[in-house]
C-alpha cells in the first residue's frame, strides 16, 4: 500500500500501450516559420466511399494530438532519457536566462545528495535554468513587449488543426470535391456568450490574447520538452487529467504510465497531485517524459515537509518548495491565495465545509495562527518566483463547494472576488494566470459562476473541476460532472479538469483515467460545437458521413476511442465481413434505416437532377423504380 | 445468432440478480384512500452520525422505486405466473369494459393456435379486455369527466416520495431535529422555464394535468400488473430503457432479464423494440412480468409480417397488429404518423438521411406507393383503437436528425408541427399523447427543440432520445447524449429515452443497460434539481451529509448504484475498518479536507455559540484550542 519499493530507475520502461499508433493513424508535423517549429498532428486515413454511396475518396482527416512523440514510430522512446528538448533553442536564443550550477532550493539540493534515492532517481539531472537577475521570462511579458515567441506561433498552428489543408485536400479529391468540402465544413452558427474566436488563429492573435491575459501558454523554461498549448476562451476548450500517488498506493512507474496514458487519449495538461513519499522524484520522472504542461499544488509537498502539521507551515518552507518545483519544470502552480482568514467563518454553516485539500490546509493554518494566509501576504513574492521561470498561476478555489447544497455561497464568491484582485496583481508582474472554479453546482447555478468569474477576473482563463450537477451518483461522477463541464465549457471555461469514476471513492487506475479523459474530451468538444468554434464540426461531419455510408472502420477510427468502439461492435457482429455490412448490428438487415435516403439520392442521380427536384418531378416514376430496387436492397437473410 | 431455440416456458426463471434487496434497503408501501392503493417505495436506512460529528440519528430516507415486487422479499416471484394484477379491481369497478373470449386480432389468434409455439409460450393466457362498445377507457377521458381514478391517486402519492413523512421523522429524531430537517430540505430555487410544480402533488392536480394533456399515465387495461406512473413536465423527470432482440441475437429469457435489470436501477418505462422472431411471445413474457409501462413500435412487427418488404405494408395489417398488441397490454405505441409524403424530399440533402427505423419504413412505403402515409390518413381510426384499451400515443419522430449536421432542419420541424396537429386530433378523442424528440443536436440548438415542441404540441409531454451533443464518440454515446438529456430535461422534457454505450455499434447487454440507466437517472435528477422540483435536493443533501461525516456505507447506499460505489472504494481501501475511516482514500489521512469545518463547529458548540459567532468572538482563543486538537486529529499513520 506504500510507494512501490521495487521501482528502479535503471529498469524503468515506457508503457508499451503508450507507444502504439492509433488505428489507421500516423503522426504528421506542420512546419512553421522556422524548421524547429514542427507542430504535431494525428492524421486518420479513411476508406473510399462504397460505390453504392457515390464511390468518392475521403482524404485523411487531421486531428489535434496531445500524445507527444510517443505515438511517432520514428522516435525512439526511453523514459530513462526523457523526451527531446523541443524548446531549448527558443529559450537559449532569448538570452535572458542563466543555467545554474544545480538546484537552488534547499530541498532540491538535499534530495540530490541523498544516496538512498539514487536507485529511483531520474538519472540525467539537468541543471536548472533561471531568468537573469531582473529579467522576466514569462510568455505574457514577451507578448506585452510585442514579441511573438516560437511558442505562440506553435500554438497558432496547432489551434488551426490544419483545417485549411484538409479542406483543400477534400476539394481536390474528385469532381464533386468542392461540394463535398462545403458539406464537411458546414456547421451551425454557435452561441458563444461573448467569446470571439477568429476563423483562423494567427500568431499575432495568440500574442494579443496572452498580452491581454485572456489566454496562457503554460511553459516553464525548465520544461523544454513540452509541445506548447494555449488555454483561453478563444481557443479550443482543453482538458486536464489529475494523476498522483498518495500515502496509500501507487508507484512512480504507475504515475508515469498514467501520464502517458492520459495524453494518449487527449489530456492537454496533467496535474501531478502526489502526496505520498518521493513526491520530488516522481515529479522529475513525469516532467522529463511529459510533452504536455504539468501542474502541481505545491502546498501538498510543503505539508509533507512538516509531517502533515499544517500549523507548522511557513512562508520559507513554501517558498523553497516553489523554487524546488519551478526548477524541475512545473508549468503551473495551484496557489490557494484566495483562502483568506475572514472567509473561513463563512463556511461554518456549509453542508460539506471546505473540500479543497489546499484550501483546508490553509484554513487550518489561518485558524491556528489567527493570521492572514501567507500565500496572500506574500503574493508578490510568489509572483517574483513565477516570472523567473515562467510558471503560470492557477489560482486555487480553496473554498469551492463540496456539495450542491454549498454551491454559489458567500464563501465561494468572496474567494472568487479575491482571486480577481490577485489576477490583477499577477498581471502587474506580467505573470500568466488562470482561475480555478467549482466543484459541485446544480445546472441552473453554473452560469452565475462563469459570469462572475468573467467579471471579477477580467476574462483570465477559467479552469473548472466539473462541476458535478448532482451528488447522488458516487461511482459515476465522471458523468455527473461531465454534464456540468460541457455546460461551463460552452459558457466560456477554457480548461476542464477531469473527474474520474473513482472521485470521492478511491485512486483512479488506468481504466478510470481513460474514462475520465474520454468523458471530458466529449464535454470539451460539445462545448466547442456549441460555441461555434470554427471547424469544430468537421470531425463530427466526417464521422457521420462514415456512419451513413457504413464505413465501419472509419466510424471507429474517427471517434475518440477506436478500440472500444470496435470491441463493442465486434461483440454483436464479430466477423470481418460485418465491417462492410450495409446495416447496423442494432437493427439487422430488415430494419436498416440509413438506406432510404441513399435510395432517393441514387434515383436522383440517375435522372441527372437534384434529389429534391427528382422527387417533386417524378414521384410516380420513382415509386416504380423504388419498388424494383427495394426488393433488391432489403433481401431476406 | 437467432432467437435462442432452447428457451422453454416450463423452466423459465427469474434472474436471481433482480430479486435481491438493495443494500440497507427495504420495500415499504404507502396506503392511499383505500387498502388496495399501496404505493411502493424504497427505504434506505442510515447509520447514526459519529459522535465526533454530533452523534445524531439519521432516519431512513425514502426514494422513488421503479423495481416493482421484485425487490420485495415477501413476494414470491415466478415469472411463469407473472405479476399480481394490481389494477384489476380498479378496472372492474369502472364497469366500462368487457372480457373477450380470446384475442380479436387475426395474428393473435394464429399465434395462440400454433402448436410449435407451445413450449415457449407464456402459459397463463388471460383473455383480453376491451372497452364496451362506444366507451372510452382512457385516463384522459376519466380526467376530463372529473373522475380521479385510483391510478391518479397512486401517482400523486408516488410523486410526493413520502417527503413529508421523512421530514417529520427527521424533525422527531432528536433535540436538533427541526434544524436538521431544515438543512436536509433546503434547496436552491430552480429555473423551471415555465414548468410549475406544486410543493405537494394532489390527486386532483394529477387529474387536472391529465385532463389538460400535460401529463399521461400509460396504463393499458390489459396491463393490470403495472404500478401507475406519470409522464409530464410538472412531475419528476422519467427515463425509458429500450430492450428487445433482433434477428441477430438475444433470447426471450435475456429480454425479460434486461427488463427486470432495467427497472431495478430505475427505468420508469421499458420499450420492447424486438424485431426478430417470436416478437409476440417475447412481448407476452415481458408484459406479464413488468410493473412498469411497456412501449412498442408496432410497425416493426407489422414489417415482419410482410417479410421485411415495407411496400407491402397495409393499413389492415397494421391495424391487426395494433389490436394484437393492445390486447397483450402494451401501454404506449410509437406511431410515426408525422412522416408525411411531402416531408421526405426535405431529407435529401441530409448528412445521415432518415435514421429512425419506423420513419424509414414509412418513408419507403410512401415513396413506393407515392401516397400519403396510412398512419396519417388513418389516424382517427388509430385513435379509436387506442381509447378502447387506453393505449397512449408516443408520436414518433421518424425524421429526427441522425447527426449534428442534420439537427433542427426543415424536415425535422415540419414533422414536429404535424405531430402538434395530430396531438389535437388525439385529444379530441380523449386519447393520451406524448411526443418523441431527437436525436443528435449540439447543445446550443437543444432549447429550440423544446420551445417549438411546447408551442406546436401545446405542452403534451416531450419524450426525447438523448439528444447526443456530438457525434465523435462511438462507444460513449450514453455520455454524449446524457449531457443533452440533462439539458432538455431541465428545459421541460418529461421523459428521457436512454442511450447505451452500444448505440450505433451493437445490441446492449446487461452491463450496457445498467450504464445507460444510471447515466439517465443522473440526467433526469440533474434536471429535477435545476427545475427546482420540490424535495429533489433531499437525496443529494443526505448523501453529502453522509460524505462529510465519513459514513462510507451510507454514502454508497444513498447513491444510485451502491454496488459500484462500494466496489470502487474497496479497490483502494479494502478493509472493513476503512469504512469508518475519517479520511478519503483519495487523499489519505494527512490530506483530509473535510475535517476542518468540523473542527470549527465543534469548537463553537463547546462555547455554546453559533460557529460564525464563535469565530468572530474568539479567534485568538480558538487558535490555541485548534492547535491542540489539530495535533490529535491529524495524527501520523
Domains in chain A, CATH or no CATH each: 203-531 (3.20.20.540), 582-636 (no CATH)
Q: Which pLDDT score, from 0 to 100, does residue A426 have?
A: 98
Tell the burial category of A4 from Cβ atoms under 10 Å away from its Cβ (0-12, 13-18, 19+). Answer: middle
Q: Which pLDDT score, from 0 to 100, does residue B147 have?
A: 98
Q: How far apart are CA B216 and CA B140, in angstroms?
A: 8
Instruction: Check if B619 contacts A (Cβ < 8 Å).
Output: yes
Find out whether B584 is annotated in a ligand binding site: yes
From the list A476, A486, A545, which residue is nearest B561 (CB)? A476
Q: How far apart are CA A271 and CA A497, in angstroms?
A: 9
Q: Which pLDDT score, from 0 to 100, does residue A513 have?
A: 96
- β strands within B488-622, DSSP E: 495-497
Query: Where does the pLDDT of residue B413 fall: very low under 50, low under 70, confident under 90, or very high at 90 and above?
Result: very high
Tell me the pLDDT tens digit for each residue of B59-82: 999 999 999 999 999 999 999 999
Instruction: Check if A621 contacts B (Cβ < 8 Å).
Output: no
Find out whether B389 is annotated in a ligand binding site: no
Instruction: Check if B118 contacts A (Cβ < 8 Å).
Output: no
Instruction: Check if B13 contacts A (Cβ < 8 Å).
Output: no
Find out whether B194 is annotated in a ligand binding site: no
Q: Which pLDDT score, from 0 to 100, does residue B600 have?
A: 54
Residue of B nearest to A477 (CA): B522
Q: How far is A30 from chain B (nearest CA, A)?
A: 24
Instruction: Check if B359 contacts A (Cβ < 8 Å).
Output: yes
Q: Which pLDDT score, from 0 to 100, does residue B132 have?
A: 98
Q: Do A473 and B526 touch (CB under 8 A)?
A: no
Which residues in chain A are closer than 8 Å to B584, comparing Cβ atoms?
Answer: 504
Q: Which of B192, B470, B630 has the most A C-beta neighbours within 10 Å, making it the best mutation to test the interface with A?
A: B470
Question: What values do phi and psi take at A299, rounded to 5?
Answer: -65, -25
Angle (nearest 5°) at CA B304 between B300 and B306: 120
Tell me the pLDDT tens digit for each residue of B596-609: 556 555 555 555 54
Chain B, window 409-468: residues with a beta carbon less than 8 angstroms from a chain A beta carbon: 440, 442-445
Q: Do B540 and A588 touch (CB under 8 A)?
A: no
From the list A565, A593, A616, which residue is nearest B354 (CB)? A593
Chain-wide mean pLDDT for chain B?
90
Q: Do A475 and B611 touch (CB under 8 A)?
A: no
Poorest-pLDDT segment among A10-24, B229-243, B611-625? B611-625
Question: What values do phi and psi take at A225, rounded to 5?
Answer: -75, -15
The answer to whether A245 and A285 have CB atoms below 8 angstroms apart is: no
Q: Do B564 and A354 touch (CB under 8 A)?
A: no
Chain B, window 187-206: residues with a beta carbon less than 8 angstroms from a chain A beta carbon: 187-188, 190-191
Q: Which pLDDT score, from 0 to 100, does residue A574 have?
A: 61
Which residues in chain B are closer than 8 Å to A345, comparing Cβ atoms?
Answer: 600, 611-612, 615-616
Mean pLDDT of the A542-555 span: 95
Q: How far apart are CA A460 and CA B382, in angstroms?
A: 59
Poorest-pLDDT segment among A43-57, A274-288, A428-442, B569-583? B569-583
Angle (nearest 5°) at CA B452 between B448 and B457: 150
A31 pLDDT more than 80: yes
Instruction: Check if A303 contacts B (Cβ < 8 Å).
Output: yes
Q: Which pLDDT score, from 0 to 100, does residue A276 have?
A: 76
Radius of gyration of chain A (CA): 26
Mean pLDDT of the A220-243 span: 98
Which residues in chain B are closer than 8 Å to A265, comparing Cβ atoms?
Answer: none
Query: Where does the pLDDT of residue A618 fall: very low under 50, low under 70, confident under 90, or very high at 90 and above?
Result: very low
Q: How far is B477 from chain A (nearest CA, A)?
A: 10
B622 pLDDT more than 90: no
Q: Which pLDDT score, from 0 to 100, does residue A1 have?
A: 37
CA torsion angle B39 B45 B48 B49 (round to 10):
-80
Q: Which pLDDT score, from 0 to 100, does residue A631 have?
A: 33
Poorest-pLDDT segment among A624-633, B382-391, B405-414, B515-524? A624-633
Q: Which pLDDT score, from 0 to 100, does residue A579 have?
A: 56
Tell me the pLDDT tens digit for each residue of B154-166: 999 999 999 999 9
3 state SS of B294:
strand
Which residues in chain B are closer than 8 Å to A612, comparing Cβ atoms?
Answer: 345-346, 348-349
Task: For cell 420499450, name the residue.
Answer: B271
Question: What values do phi and psi take at A26, rounded to 5?
Answer: -140, 155
Q: What is the count of residue pairs from A and B with beta carbons less than 8 Å apart? A: 494
Instruction: Check if A323 contacts B (Cβ < 8 Å).
Output: no
Tell me the pLDDT tens digit for each residue of B560-610: 999 999 999 998 766 655 555 544 444 444 455 555 556 555 555 555 545
> pLDDT: is B248 or B554 the higher one?
B554
Residue of A nearest to B361 (CA): A593
3 state SS of B412:
helix
Q: Which pLDDT score, from 0 to 100, does residue B8 have?
A: 87
Q: How far is B526 from chain A (nearest CA, A)?
A: 6
Q: Which candidate, A311, A318, A353, places its Cα nearest to that of A335? A: A318
Instruction: Enumerate the H helices of A71-149 as residue ranges.
Output: 88-94, 106-113, 139-144
Instruction: Enumerate the H helices of A370-439 as residue ranges.
Output: 374-377, 379-389, 410-428
Which residues in chain B are closer than 8 Å to A525, comparing Cβ atoms?
Answer: 470, 472
Q: Which of B183, B343, B359, B474 has the most A C-beta neighbours within 10 Å, making it the best mutation to test the interface with A?
A: B474
From the list B191, B472, B634, which residue is nearest A525 (CB)? B472
Q: Which of B446, B449, B483 has the most A C-beta neighbours within 10 Å, making it the best mutation to test the interface with A?
A: B483
Q: How far is B75 from chain A (nearest CA, A)?
A: 29
Query: Where does the pLDDT of residue B470 fall: very low under 50, low under 70, confident under 90, or very high at 90 and above?
Result: very high
Q: Which pLDDT score, from 0 to 100, does residue B251 have?
A: 82
Question: What values do phi and psi take at A137, rounded to 5?
Answer: -105, 20
Find out whether B399 is annotated in a ligand binding site: yes
Query: Where does the pLDDT of residue A367 fall: very low under 50, low under 70, confident under 90, or very high at 90 and above?
Result: confident
Q: Which pLDDT score, from 0 to 100, does residue A586 have?
A: 45
Q: How far apart are CA B525 and CA A153, in angstroms?
A: 45
Mean pLDDT of the A208-231 span: 98
Q: Do A627 and B311 touch (CB under 8 A)?
A: yes
Q: Which pLDDT score, from 0 to 100, does residue A321 have?
A: 98
DSSP-derived secondary structure for A185-226: H-------TT----SS--HHHHHHHHHHTSEE----TT-TT-
Chain-wide mean pLDDT for chain A?
90
Instruction: Check if B10 contacts A (Cβ < 8 Å).
Output: no
From the list A276, A588, A596, which residue is nearest B246 (CB)? A588
Which positions ≥6 away from A250 have C-beta within 8 Å? A3, A4, A244, A276, A507
Tell me the pLDDT tens digit for each residue of B295-332: 999 999 999 999 989 999 999 999 999 999 999 999 99
Length of chain B, please? Answer: 637
Helix and strand numbers (H, E) in chain B are: 24, 15
From the list B368, B407, B505, which residue is nearest A569 (CB)? B505
Which residues in chain B are closer than 8 Å to A351, comparing Cβ atoms?
Answer: 183, 541, 544-545, 548
Q: How far apart are CA A177 and CA A28, in angstroms?
A: 23
Chain B, window 558-587: residues with a beta carbon less than 8 angstroms from a chain A beta carbon: 558-561, 564-565, 567-569, 571-573, 584-587
Q: Do B594 and A353 touch (CB under 8 A)?
A: yes
Per the structure block, which three cell numbers stand in for A12?
A: 524503468
Mean pLDDT of the B378-404 span: 98
B296 bridge partner residues: B333
pLDDT > 90: what percent of chain B? 81
Mean pLDDT of the B489-498 span: 98
Per the structure block, which three cell numbers stand in for A622?
A: 420513382
Tell me the pLDDT tens digit for each residue of A59-108: 999 999 999 999 999 999 999 999 999 999 999 999 999 999 999 999 99
Q: Which candidate, A553, A616, A621, places its Cα nearest to that of A50? A: A553
Mean pLDDT of the B32-39 span: 98
Instruction: Check if B132 contacts A (Cβ < 8 Å).
Output: no
Find out whether B592 is annotated in a ligand binding site: yes
Mean pLDDT of the A213-234 span: 98
pLDDT > 70: what percent of chain B? 88
Q: Which of A483, A539, A574 has the most B C-beta neighbours within 10 Å, making it the best mutation to test the interface with B?
A: A483
B256 pLDDT more than 80: yes
Q: How far is CA A411 from the centre of its chain?
A: 29
Number of C-beta neighbours around residue A428 at 10 A = 10
Q: How far apart are CA B434 and CA B293, in angstroms?
A: 14
Mean pLDDT of the A521-528 span: 98
Q: Which pLDDT score, from 0 to 100, does residue B259 have?
A: 96
Q: Which pLDDT score, from 0 to 100, does residue A339 have?
A: 97
Q: Which pLDDT score, from 0 to 100, does residue B636 have?
A: 28
A597 pLDDT more than 80: no
Tell me the pLDDT tens digit for each residue of A242-297: 998 765 545 888 899 999 999 999 999 999 998 878 899 999 999 999 999 999 99
Q: Which pLDDT score, from 0 to 100, does residue A108 have?
A: 97
Q: How far is B565 from chain A (nearest CA, A)?
A: 5
B2 pLDDT more than 60: no
Tell me the pLDDT tens digit for each residue of A481-495: 999 999 999 999 999
Instruction: Check if A523 contacts B (Cβ < 8 Å).
Output: yes
Orientation of helix A477-491 relative to helix A446-457, angle to 10°: 50
Q: How far apart are CA B274 and CA B243, in angstroms?
A: 7
Per-residue burial over A37-56, b if 16 or more Cβ lie within 10 Å, else e, is bebbbbbbebbbbeeebbeb
Q: How far apart are CA B68 and CA B65, in angstroms?
A: 7
Amino acid at each position: 500500500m506504500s510507494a512501490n519499493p521495487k521501482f528502479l530507475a535503471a529498469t524503468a520502461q515506457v508503457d508499451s500501450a503508450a507507444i502504439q499508433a492509433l488505428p489507421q493513424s500516423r503522426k504528421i508535423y506542420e512546419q512553421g516559420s522556422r524548421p524547429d517549429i514542427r507542430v504535431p498532428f494525428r492524421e486518420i486515413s479513411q476508406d473510399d466511399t462504397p460505390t453504392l454511396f457515390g464511390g468518392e475518396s475521403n482524404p485523411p482527416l487531421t486531428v489535434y494530438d496531445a500524445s507527444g512523440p510517443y505515438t511517432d514510430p520514428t522516435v525512439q522512446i526511453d523514459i530513462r532519457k526523457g523526451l527531446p528538448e523541443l524548446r531549448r533553442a527558443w529559450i537559449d536564443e532569448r538570452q535572458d536566462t542563466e543555467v545554474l550550477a544545480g538546484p537552488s532550493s534547499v530541498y532540491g539540493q538535499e534530495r540530490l545528495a541523498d544516496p538512498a534515492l539514487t536507485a529511483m532517481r531520474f538519472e540525467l539531472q539537468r541543471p536548472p535554468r533561471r531568468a537573469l537577475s531582473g529579467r522576466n521570462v514569462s510568455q505574457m511579458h514577451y507578448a506585452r513587449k510585442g514579441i511573438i515567441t516560437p511558442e505562440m506561433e506553435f500554438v497558432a498552428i496547432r489551434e488551426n488543426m490544419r483545417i485549411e489543408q484538409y479542406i483543400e485536400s477534400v476539394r481536390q479529391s474528385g469532381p464533386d470535391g468542392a461540394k463535398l468540402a462545403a458539406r464537411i465544413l458546414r456547421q451551425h452558427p454557435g452561441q458563444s456568450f461573448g467569446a470571439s474566436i477568429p476563423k483562423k488563429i494567427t500568431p499575432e492573435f495568440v500574442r494579443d490574447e496572452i498580452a491581454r491575459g485572456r489566454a496562457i501558454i503554460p511553459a516553464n523554461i525548465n520544461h523544454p520538452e513540452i509541445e506548447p498549448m494555449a488555454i483561453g476562451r478563444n481557443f479550443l476548450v482543453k482538458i486536464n487529467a489529475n494523476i498522483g500517488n498518495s500515502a496509500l498506493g501507487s508507484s512512480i512507474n504507475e504515475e508515469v504510465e498514467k501520464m502517458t496514458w492520459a495524453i494518449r487519449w487527449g489530456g492537454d495538461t496533467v496535474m501531478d497531485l502526489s502526496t505520498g513519499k518521493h513526491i520530488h522524484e516522481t515529479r522529475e520522472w513525469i516532467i522529463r517524459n511529459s510533452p504536455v504542461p504539468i501542474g502541481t499544488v505545491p502546498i501538498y509537498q510543503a505539508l509533507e515537509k512538516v509531517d502533515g502539521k499544517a500549523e507548522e507551515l511557513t512562508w520559507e518552507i513554501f517558498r523553497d518548495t516553489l523554487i524546488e518545483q519551478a526548477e524541475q519544470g512545473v508549468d503551473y502552480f495551484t496557489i490557494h491565495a484566495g483562502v483568506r482568514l475572514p472567509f473561513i467563518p463563512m463556511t461554518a454553516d456549509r453542508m460539506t465545509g471546505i473540500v479543497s485539500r489546499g484550501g483546508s490546509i490553509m484554513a487550518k493554518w489561518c485558524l491556528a495562527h489567527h493570521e492572514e494566509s501567507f500565500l496572500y501576504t506574500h503574493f508578490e513574492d510568489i509572483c517574483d518566483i513565477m516570472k523567473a521561470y515562467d510558471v503560470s498561476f492557477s489560482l486555487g478555489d480553496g473554498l469551492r463547494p463540496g456539495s450542491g447544497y454549498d454551491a454559489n455561497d458567500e464563501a465561494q464568491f468572496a474567494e472568487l472576488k479575491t482571486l480577481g484582485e490577485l489576477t490583477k496583481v499577477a498581471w502587474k508582474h506580467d505573470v500568466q494566470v488562470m482561475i480555478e472554479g467549482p466543484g459541485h453546482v446544480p445546472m441552473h447555478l453554473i452560469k452565475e459562476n462563469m459570469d462572475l468569474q468573467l467579471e471579477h477576473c477580467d476574462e483570465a482563463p477559467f479552469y473548472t473541476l466539473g462541476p458535478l450537477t448532482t451528488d447522488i451518483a458516487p461511482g459515476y461522477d465522471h458523468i455527473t460532472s461531465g454534464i456540468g463541464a460541457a455546460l461551463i465549457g460552452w459558457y466560456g471555461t477554457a480548461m476542464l479538469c477531469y473527474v474520474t469514476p473513482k472521485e470521492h471513492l478511491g485512486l483512479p487506475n488506468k481504466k478510470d483515467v481513460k474514462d475520465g479523459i474520454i468523458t471530458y474530451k466529449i464535454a470539451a468538444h460539445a462545448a466547442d460545437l456549441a460555441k461555434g468554434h470554427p471547424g469544430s464540426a468537421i470531425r463530427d461531419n466526417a464521422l457521420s458521413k462514415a456512419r451513413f455510408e457504413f464505413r465501419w472502420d472509419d466510424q471507429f477510427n474517427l471517434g475518440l476511442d477506436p478500440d472500444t468502439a470496435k470491441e463493442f461492435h465486434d461483440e454483436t457482429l464479430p466477423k470481418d465481413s460485418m465491417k462492410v455490412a450495409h446495416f447496423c448490428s442494432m437493427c439487422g438487415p430488415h430494419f436498416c434505416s440509413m438506406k432510404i435516403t441513399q435510395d432517393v439520392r441514387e434515383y436522383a442521380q440517375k435522372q441527372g437532377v437534384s434529389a429534391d427536384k427528382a422527387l417533386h418531378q417524378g414521384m410516380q416514376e420513382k415509386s416504380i423504380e423504388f419498388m424494383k430496387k427495394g426488393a433488391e436492397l432489403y433481401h431476406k437473410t
